[in-house]
Amino acid sequence: MGITEIAFYILAAIGVISALVTVTARHPIYSILGLVTCFFSISGHYILMNAQFLGLVNIIVYAGAIIVLFLFVVMMMNLGEIQETSKNLIWKIMAALAAGCLMLVLVAALKVSDNLVSAQPDNNIGLVETLGNVLLHEYLVPFIMTSILLNAAMIGAVLLSNKENKLQNI
């Protein structure tokens, strides 16, 4: 068992456990902590697969920006004090069944699919240089569009977070 294999299993275990913590924790803060742990483990997987750029971006965007956003919101609403009245057991069982059903279907789809064929391994694909080339050559227009999307999201978020009376004034 090589080092990468061991690393994979450790990271996978951390990811699954932290994901479970995320969806089951009673307090939102624990959920957020579970989620950030999960994101870190996923970033670890990216680095394992030599996708260094994505691994870093994942930490910056998800663990950095998004999780902080979540934290702010939770703290702003002071949700910690409100004890969430959990759904009843039947609902949880149904949710588990549905999720399991979906997974079952996907696994079955995987099993009946044609045999996977691998290509010539290339260790450069995840590097910043390669990714940057592809992004700025083949996907230039979508890339610029993304900036517009982010801009729009920003404006929308600002608008929505405004006080209502100001919203009506606009």
Partner 1 sequence: MNIEIISGVSVQAYIWLSLILFAIGVFGVLSRKNAIVIFMSVELMLNAANLLLVAFSKMYADTSAQVFVMFTMAVAAAEVAVGLAILVLMYRNTKTVNIDVLSKIKG
Partner 2 sequence: MAAESLYTAIIGLPLLGFLIIGFLKNKISDNIAGILASTMVLIPFLIVSSVFFSLVNGGSAIHYYLLNWFTVGHYSVDYGIQLDRLSVVMSLFITGVGFLIHLYSVSYMKGDKNFSTYFSYLNLFIFFMLVLVLSDNYLGMYIGWEGVGLCSYFLIGFWYKNNEYSNAGKKAFVMNRVGDLGFMVGMFYVFYYTGSLEFVKVEQAIGMGAMTPIVLMIAASMLFVGATGKSAQIPLFTWLPDAMAGPTPVSALIHAATMVTAGIYMVIRSNFLYSLAPEVLNVVGIIGVASALYAAIVGMTQNDIKKVLAYSTVSQLGLMFLALGVGAYVTALFHVLTHAFFKALLFLGAGSVMHAVGGEQDIRKMGGLRKYMPITFATFLIASLAISGIPPFSGFFSKDEILAQAFQQNTLLWVLGLVASMMTAFYMFRLVFLTFYGDYRGNDDSKQKIHESPKLMTIPLVVLAILATVAGTLGLPHVLNMPHLLNDFLSPILASSARPQGHLEASTEFMLMGIATGGALVSIAIAYMMYISKKRVPDEDANYSGLTKVAYHKFYIDELYNAVIVRPMQWCSEFFHKVIDKVVVDGIVNMTGKASLLASDIVRTSQTGYTAFYILAMVLSACFILGYFFIGS
Residues 98-127 that bind partner 1 (CB under 8 A): 98-100, 102-103, 106-107, 110, 115-116, 118-122, 125-126
- Which does residue 125 touch among partner 1, partner 2, none (CB within 5 to 8 A, set by kind)? partner 1
Rounded distance between C-alpha atoms, residue 67 and residue 160, angstroms: 20
**Given 164, 165, 166, 170, the residue binding partner 1 (CB under 8 A):** 164
Site string for partner 1, 143-162 (x = CB under 8 A): ---x--xx-xxx-xxxxxx-
HSE on the CB side for 140, CA within 13 Å? 4
- The verdict on 135 binding partner 1 (CB under 8 A) reads yes
Residue 30's contacts (CB-CB under 8 Å, 6 or more residues apart) are 21
Q: How far is CA 47 from CA 86, 117, 135, 154, 168, in A?
A: 37, 23, 19, 30, 48
- The verdict on 96 binding partner 2 (CB under 8 A) reads no
- The verdict on 169 binding partner 1 (CB under 8 A) reads no
Residues 8-47 that bind partner 1 (CB under 8 A): 8, 12, 15-16, 19-20, 22-23, 25, 28, 31-32, 35, 38-39, 42, 45-46
- Which does residue 61 touch among partner 2, partner 1, none (CB within 5 to 8 A, set by kind)? partner 1
Binding residues (CB under 8 A) for partner 2: these are: 87, 91, 94-95, 98-99, 101-102, 105-106, 108-109, 112-113
